[in-house]
Structure 1
Amino acid sequence: MRVAFVSLMYDAPWGGSEVLWTHTAARALAEGHEVMASFYAWPEMAAPLQALAAAGAQILLRTRYQPSLRHRAVNWLARLPWGGELPEIRALTRFKPDVVLINQAGWMDLFFHQQLLDWLRRVPFILACHNYQDPVRQRDFSRALLTDMYSRAKEVLMISDNQLRTLQRQLVDPIANARVIQNPLNLPATYPVPRNVQTNGGLQLAVVASFDVDRKGQDVLLQALTAPEWASRRFQLNFYGQGPDQAYLEKLIQFYRLTDRVRLRGHVADTAAIWRENDLLIIPSRIESGPMVLQEAMLCGRPVVAADVGMVRDWLDDDETGFIADTASAISLNRALSRAWARRADWPAIGTLAAERVRQRIEIEPVGELLRRLVGYATDSATSGRRERRPQG
């Protein structure tokens, strides 16, 4: 079987939205399927994408848009011999996939790729949605186009019930082919993870997210920690990650006079190393569908303070396994953090309960399940095609 994976993530070379499809592509290769992986070119290819290439995937790099007149003219001239058809469309046609997975970092990325959307009429495809925005006011014509786009997919994958309900409301459509899935997690070999002996620096609080404040909300968390009550509380806040807003966060930490309280720790792939050194996870996100770090931290035995976004309320029980802020505002986050602080002696017990509850619900094989469904849709399509070609007597 030939499977094509097309990632439409545009803003970064790697992110949480890429984990499921890359794991599934790697499993497909291991099981003997032919794989094409298409994604945007960056100066340095992310390590998981390099691993796909090394394992035998056909890699199709797409050029990111540049607004310069020269860049647009060169691209236009290059497409002229093929009537304006994009190189990725020609490559997909040559590859002849039996099934396609379109991976969106958001929820309407494919809407802006008209040639790809038109080409997908010829092959079964699954459409993955990894985020949403609310509020969003859709006009009637765009609502109709998006509903049609979703209806063409064999399945529309969502990351949380909240995401699905929000998009159903915005589109005024049940999205009958939607299915809520789980992402594969980055977990240590053994978990829960015991906490190292605490130092004199006080309780250690962690935010594990890319430095993208519009979505991840580190800026509003810093503002929350300027409330007077935090001046006497002994804590250290650790930001794990990297991203375009690092310089801004460094300036904001200085602006709020939190340099002795907040550290930027960079990207740390070893989750056990993070949770050996931290007592609590904070998710201050403004926009989020399925923060995988929520489940990871809970399985590692840590309580969580999180803004009410995406799947947070699906997995976190307020005042039992963590503390939920109504919104990603300084006031709401401060209230939730203060509730957590008042129960800091209970954090180990809360973390233990969090790990127990997540273990009862976690999906063991999301990658294998997705690959089975892709194979199933390809098989159904091939069988249907044979029936249609059967001579009539």
Structure 2
Amino acid sequence: MAEPRVLHVITDPRARGAQRLARDLHAELVRRGQQSELTALHPHPDADPGDPAPVLGPSRHHPRTLWALRRAAARADVVVAHGSSTLQACAVALLGSRTPFVYVNIGDPRHWTASAARRLRVGAFLHRAAAVAAISPHAAEVLRERFRLPARRLRTLPNARAADRFRPAAGPAEKAAARAGLGLPAEGPLVAWIGALSPEKRPDLALAAHARLPEDVQLALAGEGPLRAELAPGPRTHLLGPLADPAPLYRAADLLLLTSDSEGVPGVLIEAALAGLPAVATDVGWVSDVVRPGETGLLTPPDDPAALTEALRTLLAADRTGYGAAARAHALAHFELDVVATGWQQLLREVTRR
């Protein structure tokens, strides 16, 4: 029997967490010979103008967007909705349709369903899904308890990345070349921070922690967002803007810093780990699925620049070779795209045969 035809739906064409997983999974299914398409609900000014993903309409819940989604779904056997913004669109657009949809929960639902009204609304949409994929067993348990989802509708499928795209630097020469290519200083430790410059990602904490570090430590922030104009970087801080491919920054850096107030299982931590880069991260969501304290990196409480500084000092002073090797081994065992994509194919077959 042929594999089901899949339509992946993302919010917009930006290269962010949910979108990256959707693109990688879509590309892997195509590589395996499965019919797969990817589309975005609406455009975004920060998206790459040359991005090939077609856009369905002017905004995520506009009637034209929803009708276009319903027509696109009619050509597929199953729709995969990536991220919270796609949940309502698919639940509404596919009402009464013969095409089932699977929702991928990327973030922490405790964060984005804080109010009772929002929990009720999101719960109603989740119950419309044929299945809900959680990126951590802890997330699956939260979804089951918070929204009373039956266990048979829940599946744990980790966030994932292709290991061959995020290989470690081969040696000092490749590391130096990566820094030169990004316009970064050749000397001194380099801390990388990658993400949206938005309130929940807390780039301000990265700047505050970095300001307390020795003068030879450099900080490179890659990303774009609403806080860009408010950031006041010092002379040792480098704002790189959005990177189409973050792999060179991982090869250039000595460790990764994550300062978020809310996360699921961040793709940047997986990418860095595959590149052999240890991490200092805030202990939010299910970050600890990737960062094992004292083994692959260090964790700190959220919103604590002093704790971040101390963790950075500790890791910068340590022999990071063992941390990096352990991080890569852990990521290969749990978050490699090849294994996760096989789990996705099994789920999609099950959903279309019900």
For the criterion TM > 0.5, the same-fold answer is yes
1:3 counterpart = 2:6: yes
**Distance in 2, Cα, partners of 1:169 & 1:95:** 30
| Structure 2 CA distance for partners of 1:175 and 1:4, relative to 1, 3 Å | same
SS of residue matched to 1:118: coil
Q: Distance in 2 between matches of 1:359 and 1:340?
A: 22
Matched residue of 2:262: which SS? coil
Residues 285/96 of structure 1: CA separation in 2 closer, same or farther (3 Å cut):
same
Asked if 1:115 corresponds to 2:92, the answer is: yes
Deviation at 1:158, TM superposition (A): 1.6
- State the structure with more CA Rg: 1
Change (3 A) 1:260 1:188: farther
Structure 1: which amino acid aligns with 2:332? R
Equivalenced residue count is 338
Mapping of 1:1-393 within 5 angstroms? 2-7=5-10, 9=11, 13-26=14-27, 31=33, 33=35, 35=37, 37-42=39-44, 46=48, 49-50=51-52, 59-64=54-59, 86=64, 88-89=66-67, 92-93=70-71, 96-106=74-84, 110-111=87-88, 115-116=92-93, 118-119=95-96, 122-135=98-111, 136-139=113-116, 143-171=119-147, 176-185=152-161, 187-188=163-164, 191-196=167-172, 201-212=187-198, 214-227=199-212, 230=213, 232-249=214-231, 252-253=232-233, 259-341=234-316, 344-363=317-336, 364-378=338-352, 380-381=353-354
CA RMSD across the alignment: 3.4
- Give the letter for the 2:334 counterpart: R
Distance 1:195 1:319 in 2: 24
**Of 177-186 and 86-95, the range deviating more from structure 2:** 86-95
1:117 Cα shift?
5.6
**CA 1:36/1:314 → structure 2, altered by over 3 Å: closer, same or farther?**
closer
Going from structure 1 to structure 2, the CA distance change for 1:242 and 1:300 (only over 3 Å counts) comes to: same
Cα distance in 1, alignment partners of residues 99 and 350 from structure 2: 13
Kindly provide the amino acid, as one letter, of the partner of residue 236 in structure 1: Q
Give the CA deviation at 1:128: 1.2
CA shift, 1:152, in A, is: 3.1
Q: Secondary structure of the equivalent of 1:274?
A: helix
Alignment correspondent of 1:388: none
Q: How has the CA–CA distance of structure 1 residues 190 and 267 changed in structure 2, closer, same or farther, with 3 Å as cutoff?
A: closer
Match of 1:302, as an amino acid? L
Q: Could you tell me which amino acid in structure 2 is paired with residue 234 of structure 1?
A: D
- Contact kept, 8 Å, 2:24 with 2:161, in 1: the verdict is no
1:188·1:272 contact (CA, 8 Å) conserved in 2?
no
Q: Which segments of 5 or more consecutive residues in structure 1 lack a partner in the other structure?
A: 53-58, 67-74, 76-84, 254-258, 382-393
Offset at residue 29 of structure 1 (A): 5.4
SS state at 1:290 partner = coil
Identity fraction in percent: 23
CA distance in 2, matches of 1:65, 1:355: 37
Residue-by-residue CA offset, 1:354-390 (whole Å, 9 max, x unaligned):
2223323334243354245324422x15xxxxxxxxx
- Whole-angstrom CA distance in 2 between matches of 1:294 and 1:206: 11
* CA distance in 1: counterparts of 2:324 and 2:51, whole angstroms: 34
Change (3 A) 1:134 1:374: closer
Are the equivalent residues in 1 in contact too, given 2:278–2:296 (CA < 8 A)?
A: yes
Distance in 2 separating the partners of 1:87 and 1:273: 36
Paired amino acid for 1:88: L
Amino acid of the structure 2 residue aligned with 1:5: H
Gaps of 5+ in 2: 177-184
Match of residue 387 from structure 1:
none
User: Equivalent residue of 1:156, what SS?
Assistant: strand
TM-score between both structures, scaled by the size of structure 2: 0.79
1:377 partner letter: V
Pair 223,175 (structure 1): closer, same or farther in 2 beyond 3 Å: farther
Structure 1 residues 41 and 321, CA, compared in 2 at 3 Å: closer, same or farther? closer
Residues 165-202 of structure 1: CA deviation (Å, up to 9, x unaligned): 44445436565522222334255557332452677742
